[in-house]
């Protein structure tokens, strides 16, 4: 376990060095979040549609998504890992006296936490000092905040486990581009990144809520404002645990299969 913690710490420290990249991303995230708040406010005031979430809950959802997006997005994968699979550098990874799957999992975890640590503070600070009604509100209560922290951790585990499955699938293809395009487009919509999942009409919403994508971003962001509570929240937590176990074991199995079948050409 100490070896994997070391991989996490090294990747976390490396990720903290990209401060200017985080600064440039902050500008984009702030104005994008503000634009979304304005759009939903216009929808609310037009009375053209009935919003399935209260406007304060939508505002909290938007700003938390922007602040912690680095934890949950699946398009920002580790290009170094894809490169090692394609050019044969993976052979050096197999020489290490550790599990490749565990090492890559810790590495992915560290890079995501580092990127989120650089961005979340400034985004949340801007969201707090904005005038009403664009200001992020406090959590629905102490219980909601504690469940928010729990579901955030589980969402991170599900997201990293899903990305690990994508990495492992690339062992069985010539290029990783196809898998990345396919999964990125699906996850962006089905996780609630484009629009909150309550805005998706029934019966599609019920189906999507049971998929692993809903456990990545939708659950913690709705938990914070109390939009997801009670039995529905408990069910969502158990679904997060279920999908984490399933995706982790599936990715581990794919990695073991790839280790036994991989052929590296070149000198």
Q: What is the pTM of this model?
A: 0.87
Instruction: Give the Cα separation of 81 and 104 in Å (integer).
Output: 8
pLDDT value, residue 151: 95
DSSP 105-153: HHHHHHHHHHHHHHHHHHHHHHHHHSPTTSSPPPPS-HHHHHHHHHHHH
Indicate the pLDDT class of residue 219, thresholds 50, 70 and 90.
very high
> Residue 246 corresponds to which tokens in the numbers above?
């399933």
What is the number of helices (H) and of strands (E) in the chain? Answer: 12, 0
Q: Taking all residues of the chain, what is their mean pLDDT, rounded to a whole number?
A: 83
DSSP state of 160: H
> Across residues 83-107, what is the average pLDDT?
76
């Amino acid at each position: 376990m100490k070896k994997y913690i070391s991989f996490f710490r090294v990747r976390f420290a490396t990720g903290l060095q990209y401060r200017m990249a985080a600064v440039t991303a902050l500008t984009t995230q702030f104005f994008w979040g503000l634009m979304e708040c304005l759009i939903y406010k216009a929808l609310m005031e037009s009375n053209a549609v009935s919003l399935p979430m209260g406007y304060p809950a939508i505002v909290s959802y938007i700003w938390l998504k922007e602040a912690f997006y680095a934890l949950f997005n699946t398009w920002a994968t580790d290009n170094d890992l894809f490169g090692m699979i394609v050019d044969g550098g993976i052979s050096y990874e197999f020489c290490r006296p550790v599990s490749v799957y565990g090492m890559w999992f810790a590495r992915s975890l560290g890079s995501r936490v580092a990127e989120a640590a650089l961005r979340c503070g400034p985004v949340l600070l801007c969201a707090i000092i904005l005038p009403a009604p664009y200001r992020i509100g406090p959590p629905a209560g102490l219980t909601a905040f504690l469940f928010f922290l729990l579901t955030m951790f589980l969402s991170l585990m599900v997201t990293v486990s899903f990305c690990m499955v994508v990495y492992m699938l690339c062992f069985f293809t010539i290029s990783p581009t196809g898998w990345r395009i396919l999964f990125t487009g699906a996850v962006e919509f089905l996780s609630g990144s484009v629009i909150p999942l309550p805005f998706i009409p029934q019966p599609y919403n019920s189906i999507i809520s049971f998929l692993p994508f809903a456990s990545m971003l939708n659950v913690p962001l709705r938990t914070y404002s109390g939009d997801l509570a009670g039995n529905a929240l408990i069910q969502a937590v158990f679904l997060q645990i279920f999908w984490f176990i399933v995706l982790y074991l599936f990715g581990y199995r794919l990695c073991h299969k790839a280790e036994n079948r991989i052929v590296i050409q070149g000198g």
